[in-house]
Structure 1
Amino acid sequence: MDRKKAEADLRKYYTVFLQLGLIVALAIFILAVKVDLTSEAPDEYTLDEQDVVEMEEVIQTEQIETPPPPPRPPVPVEVPNDEIIEDVNIDINSDWDLDDRMEMPPPPQEEEEPEENFFVVVEEMPELIGGLASIQKNIEYPEMARRAGIEGRVYVQFIVNEQGEVEDPRVIRGIGGGADEEALRAVRQAKFRPGMQRGRPVRVQYSLPVVFRLQN
């Protein structure tokens, strides 16, 4: 075999190439560090001006109260001119002395209420002659009350005088249908023995019932 030439043997240049490579790499690294990659800041910052808000002054309105209209004047009433007004003569007595004592009018007299001229309770009360049967037998049943089916008691109050007669009868509790009027008619015909007080006949207030009952 033929031996290589000395120029073709690269082993002896190995260290040289290695040092050159390191130098180039170091130069590139230094350049990379030296270069400033940050972007440049703008010279001036422009800020948008804010819109200016103008506040309008609010004026408070005043409410004006209008006065009410004046009342209407009264309508004049025509008066006839031919009406004559009579003169009134006032008689003034010049002789009247103020030092005289005036007489006061008399006080009003109170009307005395009439005293009751009858008794309510006496020693001997009036006695109905014949009892209630004497009144019941004189009763004529009213046709209106019969048709309406009205039954009951009618209470009549009256005065028994000194002669045993009935005065001023009146119904204090009725049932209607014509029964009240019939009870008054029957009581007026009744006769009593008068009431006695201290041995003499007196007027006595009395009341009794009148029965109205339909027969089936």
Structure 2
Amino acid sequence: MTAQKNPEVDLKLHYQKNLELGFVLALIIVLGTFQSLRKVTLGKHEFVTPDIKIEVEEIPPSEQIKRPPMPARPTVPIPTEDEDVPEDETIETTEIDFDNIPDPPPEPVEEDPGSYTFIPYDEPPEMIGGMAALKKHLVYPEIARKAGVEGVVHIGVLVDAQGNVAKLQVLKSSVSNVGFEEAAMKALRQVKWKPAFQRDRPIKVWISIPVKFRLQDAPS
């Protein structure tokens, strides 16, 4: 009796052998490839540098602005031993006293002042005969004498360049309404005057004259 082969069993046996054989062949191929790679040498590589042309363009010179020349420094003379150096002079300081500065000379006055105004002069006007001449023309007011009143009246007198009384003005009166003002002005009109002078020329000026009224001077 002849034994029959089982194809499935044969396939398994051949498969195992074929698998082992495939592994061996694959290993041989890998090793051969590795050995061949080790023997490969790198060839020499030549690096070619491309020719680069550099063109130089001429740039025209820029125009420079000329600055004005600096001024020359002043030369300082160097002193030498042979030079005669003058000694330092001491300048005394002058102290100015502003309180005692003389007033400028007054200008001549030509206008006619309408009211009492101080006008500068070199020489004041004067009553010819003084206060004694004024008392001769002074009359004590009757009302003031009977009331026993005394007082002082300040009269502004405008004396012209000829020595005449041009105008009278009551400046101040200690007692009013008793006739002192009228009596004083009447007496001053009758007095002769010497005019004031400015720069050796007669001028018209105002002057204040105090006129005193005392009962002892009044007629009894």
Q: How does the TM-score come out when normalised to structure 2?
A: 0.43
| Higher helix proportion | 2
Q: How does the TM-score come out when normalised to structure 1?
A: 0.44
